[in-house]
Chain A
């Protein structure tokens, strides 16, 4: 049983498309994180959420605490957005989803 489930596992989009990645979790949390892992392997933290919505450039992250669900949206997707996106939650420890591999085609 995974404490954090992401969907889809793989996603291919045309440049310019609006993209949504979903994350559901089953544990009590204090915060939810969206991480981005580039093909080179480095991981960067995109957002940390405990409620509501955050926006950074073309990226938007939302969380619904009651439904235990979060979404990451990418508007006007670009090939440089191609990466693995990982949802993680902080409860007693970090729990990670297996990631969504996004490929944006020019």
Chain B
């Protein structure tokens, strides 16, 4: 069955380190999204991509970057992790309507 997977599921890192969260989908969807979820804020869009080599900034993109070298993967990189980036991160993919979400990655920056 097609699916969307995130890895790792849990990560603890130190302030200032570079961290990459992986997102892989097997539906061949063009649209992929990264969100963070924080108490009181719901889901907020970080970056999104509508296809290979296409990336766009979302609402809370500062401190994050993404790259899209193939259809299946949209890795999210924290260039220099900060405590404010402690959150739960969700990846989603969409064929254009509807969406499928990964299970989430809980990131703690200490």
A interface residues, Cβ below 8 angstroms from B: 30-31, 33, 35, 41-45, 48, 86, 88, 90, 93-94, 96-99
Contact = CB atoms under 8 A, between A and B. Distances in A.
Interface of B: 33, 35, 40-45, 48, 58, 88, 90, 92, 94, 97-101, 103-104, 106
A98 B42 contact: yes
Contacts of B99: 33, 45, 88, 90, 94
8 contacts: A31-B98, A41-B103, A42-B101, A94-B43, A94-B45, A96-B42, A98-B41, A99-B42
Contacts of B48: 93
Contacts, number: 48
A12 to B, nearest CB: 18
**Chain B interface mostly:** strand
B23 to A, nearest CB: 14
A44 B104 CA distance: 12
A41 B98 contact: no
A45 B58 contact: no
A31 B48 CA distance: 18
Q: Which of A35, A41, A43 has the most C-beta atoms of chain B within 10 angstroms of its own C-beta?
A: A43
A41 B45 contact: no
Contacts of A86: 42-43
Contact of A42 (B33, B40, B98, B104): B104
Contacts of A33: 98-99
